A and B are shown apart, each in its own frame.
Chain A
Amino acid sequence: MLEIKEIWKTFNAGTVNEKQALRGVSLTLNEGDFCTVIGGNGAGKSTMLNAVAGTWAVDQGTISIGGTDVTHLPEHKRAAFIGRVFQDPMMGTAPTMQIIENLALAARRGQRRGLRWGLAKAEKDRYQELLSGLGLGLEDRLTSKVGLLSGGQRQALTLLMASLKKPKLLLLDEHTAALDPKTAAKVLELSDKIVAENHLTTMMVTHNMKDAIQHGNRLIMMYDGRIVIDVSGEEKKKLTVPQLLELFSKVSGSDEADDKLLLS
Chain B
Amino acid sequence: MTVFLNALPGAVSQGLVWGIMAIGVYLTYKILDIADLTVDGSFCTGGAVFVMLFAGGANVWTAMLAALLAGMLAGLVSGLLNAACGIPAILCGILTQLGLYSVNMAIMDFKASVAINVTQADTLEKLLVSLRFVQGSVKGDFPLWRHPILVVGLFTACLIGVLYAFFGTELGSALRATGSNGNMARAQGINTDFCKVLGLMLSNGLVALSGALLCQYNGANEINVGRGAIVIGLAAVIIGDVLFSKLFRNFALKLLAVVIGAIIYYIVLQAVLAMGLNPNYLKLLSALVVAVFLSLPYWKGRYFAKPVKRGGAANA
* A residues lining the B interface (CB < 8 Å): 53, 74-77, 79-80, 82, 84, 86, 90-97, 101-102, 104-106, 108-111, 113-119, 150, 161
Contact = CB atoms under 8 A, between A and B. Distances in A.
A96 B30 CA distance: 11
Interface stretch (B124-132, B168-176, B270-278): B168-176
Contact of B186 (A75, A114, A116): A75
Interface of B: 166, 168-174, 176-177, 179-181, 183-192, 316
Contact of B191 (A76, A92, A95, A161): A76
Given A76-B192, A94-B181, A105 B173 contact: yes
Contacts of A95: 180-181
Interface of B, helix, strand, loop or mixed by DSSP: helix
Contact of B168 (A75, A80, A114, A117): A117
B177 A97 contact: yes
A116 B173 CA distance: 11
B172 A118 contact: yes
Q: Which 9 A-B pairs have the closest CB atoms?
A: A118-B173, A79-B189, A94-B180, A113-B170, A109-B189, A96-B180, A118-B170, A94-B181, A75-B186
Given A76-B190, A94-B185, A114 B170 contact: yes
B181 A93 contact: yes
B316 A150 contact: yes
20 contacts: A53-B187, A76-B190, A80-B189, A84-B187, A91-B183, A94-B181, A96-B179, A97-B177, A97-B180, A101-B173, A104-B173, A105-B185, A105-B188, A108-B189, A109-B188, A109-B189, A114-B171, A116-B169, A118-B174, A119-B173
Contacts of A86: 183, 187
A119 B168 contact: yes
B184 A91 contact: yes
Contacts of A90: 181
A183 B191 CA distance: 33
A97 B177 CA distance: 8
A113 B174 contact: yes
A93 B170 contact: no
Contacts of A150: 316
A115 B122 CA distance: 41
A109 B183 CA distance: 14
B189 A77 contact: yes
Contacts of B174: 105, 113, 118
Nearest to A107: B188
A73 to B, nearest CB: 11
Most-contacted residue by chain A among B172, B186, B190 (CB, 10 A): B186
A114 B169 contact: yes
A92 B184 CA distance: 5
Contacts of B171: 113-115, 118
A94 B191 contact: no
A91 B189 CA distance: 14
Contacts of B190: 76, 79, 105, 113
A116 B177 contact: no
Contacts of A93: 181, 184
Nearest to B173: A118
Nearest to A91: B183
Contacts of A104: 173
A211 B188 CA distance: 27
Given A86-B183, A105-B173, A116-B170, 8 more contacts: A79-B186, A79-B188, A90-B181, A94-B181, A95-B180, A95-B181, A114-B171, A115-B171
B297 to A, nearest CB: 16
Contacts of B173: 97, 101, 104-105, 113, 118-119
Nearest to B190: A76
Nearest to B181: A94
B251 to A, nearest CB: 11
B186 A108 contact: no
A155 to B, nearest CB: 13
Contact of B169 (A96, A102, A115): A115
A161 B181 contact: no
A85 to B, nearest CB: 9
B188 A161 contact: yes
B186 to A, nearest CB: 5
Nearest to A106: B188
